Amino acid sequence: MKTAIVTGANSGIGFVTARELLKDGYRVLCLSRNMRKLDAAVQNLATQTGSKECLAIRCDLASFKSIRNAVQSVKDCTDEIHLHINNAGLILSERQITEDSHEATFQINHLGPFLLTQSLLPLIEKAAGASGDCSRIINVSSIAHKAGLKNFWDFKAEKSYKQFDVYGRSKLANILYAKALATRLDPAICTANALHPGVIKSAFGADGDTKGLFAWGVKLMPKLPNFISGLMTVEQGAETTLYVARSEEGSQVTGQYFKNSRIAKPKTLGDEAIERFYHYSLTCSGAPEIPASFSSH
């Protein structure tokens, strides 16, 4: 049985992604910070799919300590990861600093997933060797990454805090990380890609955001009829993630950005900047480097 990790699986497109992977026969490890919601989601997933192969693991991406604990919990459950999906993310109306001294949106949307993924690379490598098929790493980014080009290197948002620019910066980071992995990992062992899921009718932006007009607006949006909001359903939003996870193309290309289940061209940075950013992420998160046996070099 293949094993998949899905972060933020307690709601939205993460829940739908986990549900469909369970139907595909995967064992799914669902990671989220809110155990009350996650336990309820796992029970719901079991009811909807009839599968008992769904496990809840607490992982607060705003805490490197919590992430390291989650890595150990994953290792206690399995020694192989065939599919790793960094789905969890948020947008905050006000600047916050984590216990690790990083701007919260940047840590939760990038540095946390970066540490989680790097720490689990040995398990991802082992899965490919055991099955004969390549493993896959998928970063759920956003078309909002285009806003991240402005003041990209201001990762602590010290110059200014504009929520969509800060969010865009973190989503651009998801794309750059996939590209950095693609230059390092043997594509016969693992592919790494990013994607835009669409503009989804869910309250993901309200997660952790409890005050102000922005939070009120985010919570209201999912309640509007589709013809007014113009938003995609969570099922539609999960389609591109599932395409990259399931399709032959998802195992053949690496370092790409998908939109509407097709390769698209993102706004990005040059190779030198991507390398600089990758090493910056290593330093900030304390993440381990890629195992030499996994390298494409």
Could you give the residue numbers annotated as active site? Answer: 167
Please say whether the beta carbons of 145 and 195 come within 8 A: no
User: Which phi and psi angles does 200 have, rounded to 5°?
Assistant: -100, 145
Helices (H) and strands (E) in the chain, counts: 12, 8
Structure tokens at 110: 């990038």
Tell me which residue of 182, 174, 40 sits closest to 113, measured CA to CA.
174
Burial label, 42 (beta-carbon count in 10 A; 0-12, 13-18, 19+): buried
Helix/strand/coil for 46: helix
- 222 residue type, one letter: P
Facing residues of 194 across strands? 139, 257
